Amino acid sequence: MSIKTLFFASLREQVGQSQTQGYWQTGLTPIQLWQQVTQTEFPEHILVARNQAYCDADTVLSDGDEVAFFPPVTGG
C-alpha cells in the first residue's frame, strides 16, 4: 500500500528529509513505518498524525494514508 510520510521541525533535520512516498506491506503501523523509513528506533515523546489528525503510534495504517512525525508542538 502507498503511504506518504512527512517529518517536521527537529525530526526533519534528524531524519534528513521532509517527506517520502513509499509502498509498504499491509498492517503497517506508524512505529514500523518510522523504523523502515529511518532505519532507527522509534523515539520516545514524538507525535504522530494520520491524515492530519493525531493518532496512536500503533494504529494500523491504510492505503493512501498521509503519516506525519513531529516533536511536541510549540506554537502560540
Site for other proteins in 32-71 (CB under 8 A): 49, 52-54, 66, 68, 70-71
**Which span sits near other proteins by CB under 8 A: 7-15, 20-28, 29-37, 55-63?**
7-15
Do residues 48 and 25 touch, judged by C-beta distance below 8 A?
A: no
User: Shortest approach of other proteins to residue 17 CB, angstroms?
Assistant: 15
Task: Report, in angstroms and rounded to the nearest whole number, the Rg of the chain calculated over CA atoms.
Answer: 11
CA count, 13 A, side-chain hemisphere, 76: 3
Residues that bind other proteins (CB under 8 A): 6, 8-10, 49, 52-54, 66, 68, 70-76
